[in-house]
A and B are shown apart, each in its own frame.
Chain A
Amino acid sequence: MSSNQKAAWAQTLSQNQQTVGSPGDHGGLGNLKPETVIETLQQVSNSDSVTGMTVRIVELAGNSNDEIRMWAAEALERAIQPSADEISSLIKVLEENEEGEVRYWAATMLGRLGGAAAQAGQALSDCLDKSLHLPARERSAWALCQIGEAAAVAKDSLSKAAEDAPPRLKRLATEALKRIGEAA
């Protein structure tokens, strides 16, 4: 991927976009045509590694258009590599965007950064506690596990989930507690 290509994608996807995390906006398109966004997301998802576009694509994962949402998820799953300078924006999305899938992907991206995303511990803990979207809660527990010792702030939330949650979440929370405990 050339830097020109990346810049073109970023420009396409961010054209007249709404403010990050603004109420009621789940990856709003502004005046962008959906097909343009889909085509760009397809190109991104077919690339090996794309950096610097994480937050915008996380937002698009909450778009009301099924196809945009699916291709955003594909891009996040296959191609997007979050970077440390995106952490505070991802935390903001996690805290302010109530859309379950947006939170799911924000947590996933923070988890991919591992210990570098230590400052996300509280936001992930809150998502684990309060989100109504089970996959988002599961990914928060997974992300806390990836962060490890520095996620000690989430111990109470994790303990609660480890005691009383659906099987997968319970297992993830238990494993996160182990990692935090082992590292401490």
Chain B
Amino acid sequence: MGWLLGRRSRSKRSRSSRKNDRSFSTSIPLLRWLGPSFTFSGIVGLLFMVVTGRIDLSVFDQWMGNGENPIGELIADSGQPQRSRIEPVALQMDNRSRETIRIATFNIQFFGPSKVSNPQIMQSIARIVSQFDVVAIQEIRNGQVSPIGELVSLLRASGASYSSSVSESIGEGDRYKEAYAFVYDQSRIAMIPGSAYVVQDPDELMSREPMVASFETRTGSPDGRPPFRFTLINVHTSPSEVAENAIINEMNVLDDVFTSVRNYEYGMTGEEDFILLGDLNVDTAGLRELGQIPSVFSIAGDAMTNTRRTKTYDHILIDRNMTTEFTGRYGILDLQNTFGISEEEALKISDHFPVWAEFTIYEAPRLTPQVPPIATRNQTRDQASGTRY
């Protein structure tokens, strides 16, 4: 089967990124107000947004307020990767470790105009995202208003310094397209310029091709220790295409995406740390060939990640031999307990919980040869179609 994945649509992406950056920065005069150049247009912009309801000032009370940890207690902490048992641990919103970062994946179901127009939901989403240094987001429905632009705007209005990279809309048909995004805290993470792209798929093997981008930590280390640099592969599979009766199961495609991106990035930049994360719509048994890449595993395993706590959909996968920056801490952010709300109310935010994992901010010394492992799995026979890939 022909494979051309892993090639960058760099020019298209960089145009798109520039466009996003431009439209974001020009549509949010509030940023000027927050900056050192305190300008008249910034004040006018702020007043306009308050008057039109784009900013709910009560959000400041929640952000600046009482020092309570809004995330609560249902965060898993485990020193044993691959265990699905979730132990509670509290995260401190204003007291992030200087030695570690948290990377998360969050499917914000139908993240489009309807949610953007609901301040309570947007504030909840902003509070969730603010717990993490980088969040891979799925199910963004771009329209006249950019949901990610609005989210980043809200985060920045709080004094945080998040930024984003958003893909073009991807998917079957005209109406079911959705975009990916990476939202990251610029004070702790830098995105490698020009590194974001959507994987090309000329053979149409996937219904939504993954988005890739590379980042590195801002360590501020005086001793010159190298920052943790990593590449994220943001994925949202189609449930139909990972089901038992799929003709070409996307999980048998994603292993090739992972290795293609890894080989390409390693060849281009020497990158060694690859993290595939997103809504895969399967539990670990359903990972198929993706789960057979040597030493690659799902950090949260079979933890329930849907809001009803009945299914495993979302994963963060790393190569345990290469990405030794993983500290062993990971979790599922339970929206109900985090916000003290009912399941019905939590479902209004999303039908998925965010999944996160913690990594050191410094590149770990390599104990193994400086060559990424090449997948040497045997060809396996797809159960449903009997087709060899």
A-side residues, CB < 8 A to B, are 42, 45-46, 48, 66-67, 69-71, 73-74, 77-78, 100-101, 104, 108, 111-112, 114, 133-135, 138, 142, 145-146, 166-168, 171-172, 175
B385 close to A167 (CB less than 8 A): no
Across-interface contacts of B141 in A (CB, < 8 A): 70
> Which one of B239-247, B319-327, B370-378 is at the A interface?
B239-247
A-B CB contact pairs (8 Å), 21 listed: A42-B347, A45-B351, A46-B308, A46-B351, A67-B114, A70-B141, A71-B110, A74-B109, A77-B239, A77-B240, A78-B239, A108-B240, A111-B245, A134-B172, A145-B247, A167-B202, A167-B203, A168-B205, A171-B204, A175-B247, A175-B385
Q: Which chain B residues have a beta carbon within 8 Å of chain A's beta carbons?
A: 109-110, 114, 141, 172-173, 175-176, 202-205, 239-240, 245, 247-248, 308, 310, 347, 351, 385, 387
Question: CA separation between A104 and B247, bound complex, in Å?
Answer: 16
Interchain CA distance A166-B205 in the complex, whole Å: 11
Measured between beta carbons, the chain B residues less than 8 angstroms from A166 are: 204
Contact A101 B173 (CB under 8 A): yes
Given A42-B347, A69-B175, A77-B240, decide whether A171 and B202 contact each other with a Cβ distance below 8 A.
no
Knowing A46-B347, A166-B204, A167-B202 are in contact, say whether A100-B245 is a contact too (CB < 8 A).
Answer: no
Verify B172–A135 contact, CB threshold 8 A.
yes
A66 to B175, Cβ gap below 8 A?
yes
Given A77-B240, A167-B203, A175-B387, also A142-B247 (CB < 8 A)? yes
Q: Is the CB of B347 within 8 A of A135?
A: no
CA distance A144 to B172 in the complex (A): 19
Counting residue pairs across A and B whose Cβ atoms lie within 8 Å, the total is: 52
Closest 9 CB pairs of A and B: A168-B204, A167-B204, A135-B172, A135-B173, A167-B203, A175-B247, A77-B239, A172-B247, A46-B347
Q: How far apart are A70's CB and chain B's nearest CB, in angstroms?
A: 6
Residues in B whose Cβ lies below 8 Å from that of A133: 173
| Nearest CB of chain B from residue A5's CB, rounded to whole Å | 14
Q: Give complex CA distance A159, B5 in Å.
A: 28
| A78 and B240 alpha carbons, distance in the complex (Å) | 9
Q: Which residues of B contact A42 (CB under 8 A)?
A: 347
A24 nearest CB across to chain B (Å): 18
The distance in angstroms between the C-alpha atoms of A62 and B310, with both chains bound, is 29
Minimum distance in angstroms from A13 CB to a CB of chain B:
19
Which residues of B have CB within 8 Å of A100?
Answer: 173
B308 / chain A contacts, CB cutoff of 8 Å? 46
In the assembled complex, the CB of A1 is this many whole angstroms from the nearest CB of chain B, namely 12
Residue of B with least CB distance to A112: B245
Complex: how many Å from CA A175 to CA B110? 33
Kindly state the separation between the CA atoms of A17 and B173 in the bound complex, as whole angstroms.
Answer: 26
